[in-house]
Structure 1
């Protein structure tokens, strides 16, 4: 693996530049700026990298160096991540991040402790590759594996946060429409998901189905209304979208283990 490794470090020193050259990352890239400032366009967004800062880019991203200050020095360390691990490890820690949704970039600033450590590691990779040690490639490969590990941890965290936002949106929709018999399509749309994906999210986050959760929310609200008002069961059933009182009673009993009238009587007694 080491003799044919794709790992390399490209060091550049530039004056003020403006270029139209657009690159597509075919490897995992780690940029660091040793001096000056470089402005990069990544997937249409502009990012300024100052001295000591850096950027991690996944394969398949569009980037362009649009400008740099005088006497700017920056490093581009690049590698096919499959070259960092043995096949069994690569299958687990590389393939899912090459074929699934990934973070297109990660900005690194020296003011953040964890990011500073990553920046220092990238710098070590570059210096190792340009050194004359017989173990230079081995040292650089091990160090770059640490950088990749950091990056996929960020990817996992981002995916988790995206999932969290989707769940929050779907839960908010259910609670905002508690008096309605919401459909699976409506819940899924609120989270920007397909019906199947919506069901998978609820199974993972709530251990129940979307419609079952929506029903529980309605029955909890109905129970509160039974306790706090003197409205009839029929009126409450209608309020929560039930045209059949008997269906409402059956559903309520399934959730609360007693009928609405027994529930009301028991709460008043307590």
Structure 2
């Protein structure tokens, strides 16, 4: 299954239902440039995410860290981590993604000892899975196996999936490094989510830098540093980019360009067109015609 859009709520939490008929797990194949935005927008979810790059290269931004993942390797993204992705070097990146509830990785009796400490650790937002490492090879093989099991749905396949999940998690733990629980890092992550959440609730309004900083209980300068560290952009640039994201689905409907511009918070059609061209490499009208002609 190819996922072309990731539905998220105002807090950036992904709304996709990550489950098979029985287990709280989902596995799907993603071609990054086929996403409605041309990239995977910023979001987070409670589920643990295990990724295997089938083709090309992906650049992931996870909290403050940027990670390039090459073909044949993978990535673990921890529960609650803000992340986004774009393809590297126009490589037509395709990856298999397994999302699973932390409570389903191991039995409830083992959860407190072997899962909870890892999802709460502040130094484990993500982990590169290297196919040249023996533990990495086992994890990547298990991701592919889970994908096959879900597609084939042979008798008792759910039990086989739980075996593969146990193998994945055991090798994450065996990779072994001291876990850290830094309250300062936790607070930073919380403030970042608060500011982004505020933007997503108020993007149609006249937003100022002071408003965003206030949402994160920060000064203007500190607010800018947070966005620079986490998203490699400025707060107001993020507002513009988010407005353009929100305009994409509207442009595929009957609304004209001027109506869309004002619906997503721009107070000038020409300014909207200019920023849209900078972001999407085409005008809003050209995008609208392209998507309508594409059958969207």
TM-score by length of 2: 0.48
Bigger mean CA deviation after superposition, 98-107 or 144-153: 98-107
Which residue does 2:215 correspond to in 1?
Answer: none
Corresponding residue for 2:170?
149
Aligned partner of 2:187 in structure 1 is none
Q: 2: CA distance between counterparts of 1:92 and 1:157? A: 16
How many angstroms apart in 2 are the aligned matches of 1:44 and 1:100?
Answer: 15
Q: Is 1:137 paired with 2:158?
A: yes
1:45 maps to 2:56: no
Pairing 1:125–2:146 present: yes
Structure 1 alignment gaps of length 5 or more: 163-270
Does structure 1 residue 105 correspond to structure 2 residue 137? no
Work out the number of aligned pairs and report it: 160
TM-score, length-normalised on structure 1?
A: 0.52
Q: What is aligned with 2:87?
A: 67
The 1-side partners of 2:74 and 2:39 are apart by 20
Distance 1:116 1:131 in 2: 22
Specify which of 10, 15, 33 is matched with residue 28 of structure 2: 10
Q: Aligned partners of 1:24, 1:75: CA distance in 2, in Å? A: 17
Q: Report how far residue 96 of structure 1 moved.
A: 2.7
d(CA) in 1 for partners of 2:138, 2:43 = 27
Moved over 4 A (4+): none
Computing the radius of gyration over CA atoms, which structure comes out larger, 1 or 2?
1
Specify the SS of the correspondent of 1:21: strand
Which residue matches 1:257? none
User: After superposition, what is the alpha-carbon deviation per residue over 1:120-172, rounded to whole angstroms, capped at 9, x for unaligned?
Assistant: 11211122122231222221121012111222334x52339x9xxxxxxxxxx
* Structure 2: gaps (5+ residues): 1-19, 183-296
Q: CA RMSD in A?
A: 2.7
Q: 1:20 to 1:147 in 2, by over 3 A?
A: closer
Relative to its length, the structure with more helix (as a share) is 1
Aligned pairs for 1:199-214 within 5 A: none
Distance in 2 between the 1:49 and 1:55 partners? Answer: 7
Structure 1, residues 74-131: CA drift from partner, whole Å, max 9, x if none? 0110101211322212232222333454511110121222211221112111221222
